[in-house]
Chain A
Amino acid sequence: AAGVIQSPRHLIKEKRETATLKCYPIPRHDTVYWYQQGPGQDPQFLISFYEKMQSDKGSIPDRFSAQQFSDYHSELNMSSLELGDSALYFCASATGDSYSTDTQYFGPGTRLTVL
């Protein structure tokens, strides 16, 4: 069965650079979530999209932005990178909006290292 695809799987950037992470949801899934997992920490919700519109916002820094495109893939744009942004970034997909979806399926994650 098709799963959530994230690219790249690994990314190394320097401070103050910009990074773009991509997420391709499971086919026919219309909802995408982004999470950040710091070293030794649990995943923290960043932002979500349903039908190409932002549906909810968590602890996402102002330096980050995201969007969902017409083909339902999503991109997380991160600017002015800081050392503390080094983390595993997960994307998850689901069907339905906030009140109807019942399971999120996670991608393998993108490991971002900021030097």
Chain B
Amino acid sequence: AQSVTQLDSHVSVSEGTPVLLRCNYSSSYSPSLFWYVQHPNKGLQLLLKYTSAATLVKGINGFEAEFKKSETSFHLTKPSAHMSDAAEYFCVVSFFGANNLFFGTGTRLTVIP
């Protein structure tokens, strides 16, 4: 069975400190993996994606994620949090390209001034 698990429903960091949002997936196939961000009352914005190319993926706004097949993980990181990073982050998995995305339950990131 294919699934995606976000290990933390809520992460709180101080401004200027590193961000780590954890995501694990389960798949019998080679997945495509995405991170989307949703700001309050806004749509979903693609942060970055992994589609079997480089395992370290750089995205927008200073975010990056590393695909680790041995750990079935795709954690999202950022060296220094900014107030504008406060939002809901979804780890998303797809099989066979980007068809039928399966969303994790989301991690709400709070950034403390």
Identify the A interface with B (CB < 8 A): 33, 35, 41-45, 48, 55-56, 58, 90, 92, 94, 96-109
| Interface flag for B112 (CB, 8 Å) | no
Query: What residues on A are CB-neighbors of B7 within 8 Å?
Result: none
- Chain A interface SS verdict (over half): loop
Please classify how large the interface on chain B is, using the bins under 10, 10 to 19, 20 to 34, 35 or more.
20 to 34
Give the docked Cα–Cα distance between A101 and B94 (Å): 11
Do A102 and B51 touch (CB < 8 A)?
yes
Do B43 and A108 touch (CB < 8 A)?
yes
Quick one: which of A33, A98, A106 contacts B97, CB cutoff 8 A?
Answer: A98
Query: What residues on B are CB-neighbors of A99 within 8 Å?
Result: 96-97, 99
Give the docked Cα–Cα distance between A109 and B36 (Å): 14
Which residue among B34, B97, B98, B99 has the maximum number of chain A CB atoms within 10 Å of its CB?
B99
Q: List 12 A-B contacts (CB under 8 A).
A: A35-B101, A45-B101, A45-B102, A48-B99, A48-B100, A56-B100, A90-B44, A99-B97, A101-B99, A102-B98, A103-B34, A108-B42
Closest chain A residue to B49 by CB distance? Answer: A103
Query: What residues on B are CB-neighbors of A43 within 8 Å?
Result: 44, 90, 101, 103
B78-113 interface (Cβ within 8 A of A): 90, 96-106
